[in-house]
Amino acid sequence: MLMENNIEMNRELNAWQFSGWIFGLVVITIGLLNLFLVHPVPGIAYLLLSLVYLPPANAYIRKKWRFSVPLVVKILLGIVLIMFTLGVSDLGDMIDKL
């Protein structure tokens, strides 16, 4: 019984880690595009914010400073980042022109 719960918990954690990797890589891509195509300041900001989503960086922050960003904050930050990228930023305007 205990082993079954542990396996289910590992699957759940792996799913969250996988989604963290995917969204982290998306934010890194947006950051690099901003860095080279728009302006370095938003690009660097996106690159720093991507560290919140990447599991190794999140584990390092949790270990070093004993602080972890809650899942709700990550989800809200992700929604704001995507809305800002597509709606307000110059990168969104470049995407619209294509």
Residue 2's pLDDT band, with cuts at 50, 70 and 90, is: very low
Residues 26-84 have pLDDT tens digits of 999 999 988 888 888 989 999 999 988 998 888 888 899 988 888 899 889 988 888 88
Q: Does residue 92 contact residue 40 with C-beta atoms inside 8 Å?
A: no
From CA 72, how far away is CA 43, in angstroms rounded?
Answer: 24
pTM of the model: 0.76
Over the stretch 11-25, which tens digit does the pLDDT of each residue have? 556 888 888 899 999
Burial of 91: CB neighbours in 10 Å, binned 0-12, 13-18, 19+: buried
